[in-house]
């Protein structure tokens, strides 16, 4: 695919040609069924926050809405069977949904395990913490486990955790 970009520079117009190749195939986690989903409050939400609204994360200081993702109030475990897939990566933005904005009770941690081995563990997220990003290799993986914990600070009050734009990627 070819694309022409016009760039204005000090009143002058320049044309820049570039070749763009899209090579990723994406399957959103919300579009497939997990093997199991245990959620502390509100149930398993596809493409919604834990309270059933749109997913919002604080991203680089800006409240950002996501159309795809998982709402999983803290103390949750979601497991996907990957034994019949050939995904290369799992990727997601993570954090406390902004419907809990400035709620001092919100705190959680995120963990990702592949084939029973934890490959990612976050610091504690609060309602005022900007989102994080997770990218883990799934090459040859048979199982993916997504976990949120209440971080041990004050129980799971207001821990509206989300996996925004959560997807499996084939490159």
Bridge partners, 148 (sequence order): 76, 110
pLDDT tens-place string over residues 96-122: 999 999 898 999 999 999 999 999 999
CB count in 10 Å sphere of residue 147: 21
Distance CA 166, CA 53 (A): 17
**Phi, psi (5° rounding) for residue 31?**
-95, -5
CB distance 69 to 30 below 8 Å: yes
Could you give all domains of the chain from N- to C-terminal order, each with its CATH number?
Answer: 25-170 (2.60.120.1060)
pTM of the model: 0.85
Residues 12-51 pLDDT 10s: 666 667 666 565 899 999 999 999 999 988 889 999 999 9
38 vs 42: CA distance, rounded Å: 10
């Amino acid at each position: 695919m070819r694309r022409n970009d016009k760039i204005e520079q000090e009143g002058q117009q320049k044309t820049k040609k570039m070749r763009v190749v899209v090579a990723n195939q994406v399957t959103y986690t919300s579009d497939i069924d997990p093997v199991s989903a245990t959620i502390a409050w509100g149930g398993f939400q596809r493409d919604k926050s834990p309270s059933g609204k749109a997913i919002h994360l604080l991203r680089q200081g800006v409240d950002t809405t996501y159309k795809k993702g998982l709402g999983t109030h803290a103390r949750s475990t979601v497991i996907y069977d990957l034994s019949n897939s050939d995904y290369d990566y799992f990727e997601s933005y993570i954090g406390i949904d902004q419907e809990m904005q400035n709620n001092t009770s919100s705190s959680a941690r995120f963990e990702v395990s592949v084939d029973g081995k934890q490959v990612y563990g976050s610091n504690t997220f609060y309602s005022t913490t900007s989102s994080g990003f997770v990218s883990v290799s799934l090459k040859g993986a048979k199982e993916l486990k997504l976990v949120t914990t209440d971080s041990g600070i004050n129980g799971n009050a207001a821990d509206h955790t989300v996996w925004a734009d959560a997807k499996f990627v084939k490159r």
